[in-house]
């Protein structure tokens, strides 16, 4: 993710947001189903889902602290 952030911050921010939201929704559905009926899903699945949520977010934060701004948010008329 960080390489994508360094190459194109607009595309990286859109993809990171989409992937994090989809992963979060899948995690919520998985946890809800697990509460209703025990399915025996291994614990590593939930750890993996948390990693897929936090990896793009953390990469974006690292990029923001490295560069100090998102280039596509800056007003080009100043």
pTM (2 decimals)? 0.79
Which of 19, 13, 15 minimizes the C-alpha distance to 60?
13
The H or E element containing residue 78 is none
Q: Band the pLDDT of 8: cuts 50, 70, 90.
A: confident
| Cα 44 from Cα 21, distance rounded (Å) | 20
| The pLDDT of residue 31 | 92
Helix (H) / strand (E) containing 75: none
**11-66 pLDDT, tens digit each:** 999 999 999 999 999 999 999 999 999 888 898 999 999 999 999 999 989 988 98
Degrees, nearest 5: CA angle 19-61-53: 30
How far apart are alpha carbons 62 and 78 in whole angstroms?
A: 26
Residue 70 has pLDDT above 90, yes or no: no
Structure letter (DSSP) for residue 39: -
Looking at residue 56, what is its pLDDT? Answer: 92
């Amino acid at each position: 993710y960080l390489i994508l952030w360094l190459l194109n911050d607009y595309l990286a921010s859109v993809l990171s947001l989409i992937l994090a939201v989809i992963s979060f929704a899948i995690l919520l559905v998985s946890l809800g189903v697990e509460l209703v009926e025990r399915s025996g899903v291994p614990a590593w699945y939930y750890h993996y889902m948390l990693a897929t949520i936090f990896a793009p977010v953390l990469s974006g934060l690292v990029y923001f602290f490295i560069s100090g701004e998102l280039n596509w948010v800056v007003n080009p008329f100043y």
